[in-house]
Amino acid sequence: MGIETVAVYSTADRDSLHVRLADYAVCIGPPPSPQSYLNRNNLIMAAAGAGCGAIHPGVGFLSENAAFAKLVRDRGFAFIGPAPETIELLGDKVAARDTARRFGLPVTPGSAGAVDSEEAAAKAARELGFPVIIKAAAGGGGKGMRVVRRAEELAGNFALARSEAEANFADNTVFIERYLENPRHVELQILADKNSVAVLGERDCSVQQNHQKLIEESPSPGVTETMRSRMAEGAVNLFRELGYTGAGTIEFLVEGENFYFMEVNARLQVEHPVSEFVTGTDIVREQILACTAGRMELEPDKVSLDGWAIECRINALSPGKITRLEIPGGPGVRFDSFLYQGCSVPPFYDSMVAKLIVHDSTRDRAIAKMSRALDELVIEGIRTNRERQKLVMRDPKFRSGRFGTHYYEEINGEAENVF
């Protein structure tokens, strides 16, 4: 797009690939997130000092923080995301449930609002019935989420969820929902500008461990055309009425033919490449255009799905120095990562170090291509989950497409808390 970029980084990420590739790079603080990536003033000063015209909040940290979006706007920068008022409605999961309900979308039973004490949590759990799930209102990525199956487990998990929410999102607000035992996790990719709303198909994110996604694919093997149309209609109505701008994702839990609104991620998602593959759309480009020029190049009525795409998240199971890196290639293979041979993976932040994405004409062919790509991928110097991802690609149940969010635990036994 001819836009010069300024990367920001903590001292732990000084050797990261994005720092090397950017036109300019600015250090914003030491490794602890509150002193760097969650430090709003440092981010604003970095942008101002570099003469930036816009700030892209990425896929985590402050990307759904309404106060940060307002600060960006008030300081005269374009924010590559929806308006602060929209983020306030949708970025907060409690507010998002209320908003979705107003627009007629079915929601899972849950607390009337945020719960701010053990007593309020216990009352909500009793009314809903166990099991329940505690969720961070400002959360995402599995952070600040705890499943509680018995009353005696509630207090400890409530405290842990609030602590995780504060550490990851600078907001310890949580709420409680009834826990659905083994649904599918399906989300729709949305792009919108001031004139239109486009749906770029759905992604299935049911392969998870500890509520963190491991594998995503598009389209979903568990969504029928009728369900796809109903979901899309509700999503378009919601985003249009809210005057949403930019990229966003609306997430559902699916049981059979029924679906329940879960949340809106008012930001770009880690798994957006699978939607880019099946629709041939550069989502980040369209996001920037929508939020700066006010209009996307994408025409909603011309969006169509072509083939099948799968993404495997490659997670580090240990920090260390990359001593050898061999990246798979070929038609329909994409590798997004900050790794390079000789770089170090620090013991901070999220464990994901790479995304391996493939595209082919059918699901079976995409699985075969992913299996080959995982075989070719070599990362030495740290331990990763590559072998586990290879096992999934070979598993008959995964290949059948008939599974829910407990799938990973079912094939691996009791999931280890390694991510």
Give catalytic residues, as residue numbers: 267
Q: Do 96 and 89 form a contact (C-beta atoms < 8 A)?
A: yes
Q: Do 207 and 217 form a contact (C-beta atoms < 8 A)?
A: no
What residues contact residue 379 under an 8 Å CB cut-off, 6+ apart? 314, 322, 324, 325, 339, 353, 354, 386
Using CA of residue 350, residue 354, residue 356, residue 357, what is the dihedral sign?
Answer: positive
The two tokens of residue 121 are 């949590």
Q: Do 377 and 323 form a contact (C-beta atoms < 8 A)?
A: no
Cis preceding linkage at 221, omega within 30:
no
The rounded distance, in Å, linking the Cα atoms of 186 and 176 is: 20
Q: Kindly report the CA angle at 135 between 129 and 139, in degrees rounded to 5?
A: 165
Nearest to 271 by CA among 305, 313, 234: 313
Q: Do 190 and 237 form a contact (C-beta atoms < 8 A)?
A: no
DSSP 347-368: SSS-SEEEEEEEEESSHHHHHH
Which residues in 68-80 are b (16+ Cβ under 10 Å) and which e?
Answer: bbbbbeeeebbbb
Residue where the block lists tokens 């923080």: 65
The rounded distance, in Å, linking the Cα atoms of 105 and 247 is: 20
Residue where the block lists tokens 């706007």: 73
The two tokens of residue 314 are 């490659």
The rounded distance, in Å, linking the Cα atoms of 216 and 272 is: 9
Three-state secondary-structure class, residue 106: coil
User: What's the first-to-final CA gap in the chain, in angstroms?
Assistant: 36
Going across the sheet that includes 333-337, the strands are: 258-265, 246-255, 184-192, 197-209, 212-218, 308-315, 352-360, 333-337
